[in-house]
Amino acid sequence: MKAADCLTADVIHLNHTAADWEAALRAGGGLLVRAGKCTPAYVDAMVAAVRHMGPYVVLAPGIALGHARPQDGALGTGISLVTLAKSVDFGSPENDPVWLVISFCAGDGEGHIDLLSDLARFLGSEVNIQRLKTAKTAPEVLKLFESSQQGGEQQV
């Protein structure tokens, strides 16, 4: 499964205002709940995991990948994407502040590996990151992911 296969306009929120890391994480999780991919308990588990284990979800400079265990309330595989109007700190000295929160859930422990690999490849491109930072609409974001899936970076 590719990231472009999971992303739809209803799970993308650009220029979101979040007071802190928890609000940012809950914004992404809320999109997954509304899309029927997880329960509200899953979102609570995402927040609890960061509280208990620290900012391990901040995987790269400015980018967090919110998630919990499938048994915490995942109903299927899905991702949401939230860009923040003002970056927030998660408590990661190396990678704060965070401007992009991708929330993720999977109904099992295996079916999401290809999705995460595709997402890592997409986020590994500085061109993709810059285009994502400047995207103004959900259709722009969808086009960027679709272009990446078809074999490369979106041209600048």
Q: How many CA atoms lie within 13 A of 129 on its CB side?
A: 14
**Helix, strand, or coil (residue 50):** helix
52 is an active site residue: no
Q: Is 74 exposed, middle or buried (0-12, 13-18, 19+ CB in 10 A)?
A: buried
Residue type, 126: E
Q: Which of 97, 108, 118 is nearest to 7 (CA)?
A: 118
> Tokens 């979040």 map to which residue?
18
> Tokens 């590996």 map to which residue?
113
Residue in 13, 52, 67, 112 annotated catalytic: 67
Report residue 44 as tokens. 């609570």
Bridge-based pairing of strands 78-88 and 98-105 is antiparallel
Q: Which of 117, 102, 128, 138 is nearest to 27 (CA)?
A: 102
Catalytic center residues: 67
